[in-house]
Amino acid sequence: MLSPFLKKIRVVIALIFFTLTLLLFIDFTNTFSITLIDAVLYLQFVPSLVKFINLLSFSIIGFLIIIILTLLFGRVYCSTICPLGILQDVFLFFKRKFKKKNIYTYRKASNWTRYSIMIVTILFLIAGSTIMLIFLDPYSIFGKITSSLIRPIIVFINNLTVQLLSNFNNYSLYPFEIKSPDPGSLIFSILFLVLIAWMTIRFSRLYCNLLCPVGSFLGFLSRYSLFKISLDQTTCNQCGICANVCKAECIDILNKKVDFSRCVGCFNCLDSCPHNGVHFTFKRPLNTLQKQEAPNLSKRNFLISSGLLLISGLGISSITNAQRRSRRRFVQTPIRKEHPVTPPGSISINHYNENCTACYLCVSVCPTQVIQPSFLTFGLKGILQPKMDYSANYCNYDCLRCGEVCPTGAILPLTLEEKQLTQLGKAIFVKKNCIVYTDNTDCGSCSEYCPTKAVDMKPFRRNLFIPYVVPEICIGCGACEYVCPTEPKAIYVEGNPVHALAKKPETKKIEEETSDEFPF
């Protein structure tokens, strides 16, 4: 039997996946290759599923592998591949360091809650909304926490080291700018971390068995797993040691039963039993206990829960509308963008909103950090999803990184040629804000940075030049907006709700007589 090794194998696999996933979200130096990123994230359930629905491509079957794995061995995903699951194990590890021992006791299943959350999530997904996943998908929660909270700390440490080294004329490391994030999104990331940490310390893996839609789905499947954990009805003397080490709190020692639908596959119980009475063996699907605990989802209950959800949703959206209205009253800037800008490859705001689970991997890998988490830029539908923030920076003309890494297909990969012709939005010039107009001095930053010369300069007044925009060749990269020195900006990018095809800038070979003499 492998039983004594299962826990060790689980820990090793978990550490590998966890470390790699953590590093992906921290890597501000962009050292990870796309192949490695793809490989690490291939098995993440929700991204893989969303991408599959999005593209209907059979090369994306990571989620199917997980389903098969679950039908074989139960929810091993939750303790080896899911980064949030392992993060909870890390919390529990540290809790054990400070407190002598974590002692768990059996908890009754909250089937009604967990399965209705799962069903509502699926219904939302079918209706084309990822909002439930933005708040509940474990991978995306982990991404938000790491990208918004852990990464800045690592960058800060890096920057301190750089400063220290530069005092000794050592420039082998380099600093990285930490952009101040949108407070709304930051608060949510902190909330996620605090809630997960608190739930873990207080109730161990309750998140996985109450709120996590992936956990509930895989839990439902694991009722039919071929291999299951069970107690030996003859040798078990109900000492309760196995129940005391069960993080999922699913071993019912009184009835000598294991609720395998809640088992997260940590295998801690296997070698805990002094009588060798916990087995991980081939089982006939659906034993009596599970039938008893099968979800009792009456139509009425379901309607109530959906209704409550709808009301809370409306509540949030009405709050945001109120905020928006009041904001308008106070802000005097003449620039009002009709549409936000989404990253290159996201096709349209709709496609983007419907597929992004706000994992912030694009935020983490973007070399210029133009991709920033938003709060309500896209409304409730795209709450917390990242946006192109041209106050933070602008989109690098030759970079394809976000599309290459996006695990859900919200941002699809582009070729360089496609990217350089993808119009995310159009620059709009506001003459009355422009330095050249207001101060009668040269500026031209916008045109200087424009990669296609969609922003060009023409003669103005006496001996000056003023910008003008050729919208057909503008790709909406935001360089002009970012560098514009005025406040409010004299040039800004109005997002295209659906990305368009820009014209290729025309160039003409400069022909000029060159002299062999000096002109002086």
Partner 1 sequence: MKRRDFIKNSIVTTVLAGTSLMLGRYLKLFGAGLPSPDLPYDLVAIKGTDPVVMFDKGIESLGGMQKFVSNGQKVVVKPNIGWDAVPERAANTNPALVKRIVEHCFNAGAKEVYVFDNTCNYWKNCYTNSGIEKAAKDAGATIVPGNSESYYHSVDIPGGKRLKKAKVHELILDSDVFINVPILKSHHSSRLTIAMKNLMGAVWDRRYWHANDLHQCIADYSTLKQPDLNIVDAYNVMKTNGPRGISVDDVIQLNSQLISTDIVAIDAAAAKVFGLEPEEVPYIIKASEMGIGTMDLSELNINRIIL
**Which residues of this chain interact with partner 1, rule CB under 8 A?**
159, 162-163, 166, 169, 171, 174-177, 367-368, 396-399, 435, 439, 441-445, 447-453, 456-457, 463, 465, 483, 485-486, 505, 507-510, 512, 514, 516-520
CB of 170 to partner 1, least distance (A): 9
Q: Which secondary structure element, helix H or strand E, spans residue 431, and what is its range?
A: none
Which of 153/187 has CB closer to partner 1? 153
Which of 189/452 has CB closer to partner 1? 452
Which of 128/485 has CB closer to partner 1? 485
CB 273 within 8 A of CB 241: yes
Distance, in Å, from the CA atom of 112 to the CA atom of 375, rounded to the nearest integer, reads 31
> Which conformational region is residue 341 in: left (phi greater than 0), alpha (psi within -120 to 50 degrees), or beta?
beta
Which of 339/431 has CB closer to partner 1? 431
Ordered alpha helix ranges (H), 331-433: 349-355, 361-365, 401-405, 416-419
∠ at Cα 242 (236, 248), nearest 5°? 130
Question: Which distant-in-sequence residues (6+ apart) come within 8 Å of 458 by Cβ?
Answer: 465, 466, 468
Question: Which distant-in-sequence residues (6+ apart) come within 8 Å of 266 by Cβ?
Answer: 7, 10, 79, 89, 247, 248
Alpha-carbon 286 to chain mean position: 36
CB of 334 to partner 1, least distance (A): 18
Which of 417/517 has CB closer to partner 1? 517
According to DSSP, the residues that pair with 282 across neighbouring strands are 227
Distance, in Å, from the CA atom of 240 to the CA atom of 273, rounded to the nearest integer, reads 9
Which of 84/427 has CB closer to partner 1? 427
Distance, in Å, from the CA atom of 217 to the CA atom of 306, rounded to the nearest integer, reads 18
According to DSSP, the residues that pair with 491 across neighbouring strands are 429
Which of 408/452 has CB closer to partner 1? 452
Per-residue DSSP letter, 128: T
∠ at Cα 429 (425, 434), nearest 5°? 140
CB of 192 to partner 1, least distance (A): 30
CB of 439 to partner 1, least distance (A): 7
CB of 155 to partner 1, least distance (A): 11
Distance, in Å, from the CA atom of 221 to the CA atom of 258, rounded to the nearest integer, reads 15
Which of 163/321 has CB closer to partner 1? 163
CB of 346 to partner 1, least distance (A): 21
CB of 443 to partner 1, least distance (A): 5
Which of 56/510 has CB closer to partner 1? 510
CB of 32 to partner 1, least distance (A): 15
Q: What backbone phi and psi angles, to 5 degrees, belong to 458?
A: -130, 155
CB of 414 to partner 1, least distance (A): 17
Which of 206/370 has CB closer to partner 1? 370
Which of 209/420 has CB closer to partner 1? 420
Q: What backbone phi and psi angles, to 5 degrees, belong to 195?
A: -65, -45
CB of 390 to partner 1, least distance (A): 14
CB 167 within 8 A of CB 173: no
Question: Which distant-in-sequence residues (6+ apart) come within 8 Å of 410 by Cβ?
Answer: 50, 54, 346, 351, 352, 354, 355, 356, 357, 385
Which of 67/335 has CB closer to partner 1? 335
CB of 418 to partner 1, least distance (A): 18
Q: Tokens representing 190?
A: 């902190």
**Dihedral angle computed from the Cα positions of residues 340, 177, 153 and 353, in that order, rounded to the nearest 10 degrees:** 10
Sign, CA torsion 178/181/183/188: negative
Q: How many helices (H) and strands (E) does the chain have?
A: 23, 10
Per-residue DSSP letter, 382: G
Q: Tokens representing 394?
A: 């602008």
CB of 7 to partner 1, least distance (A): 43
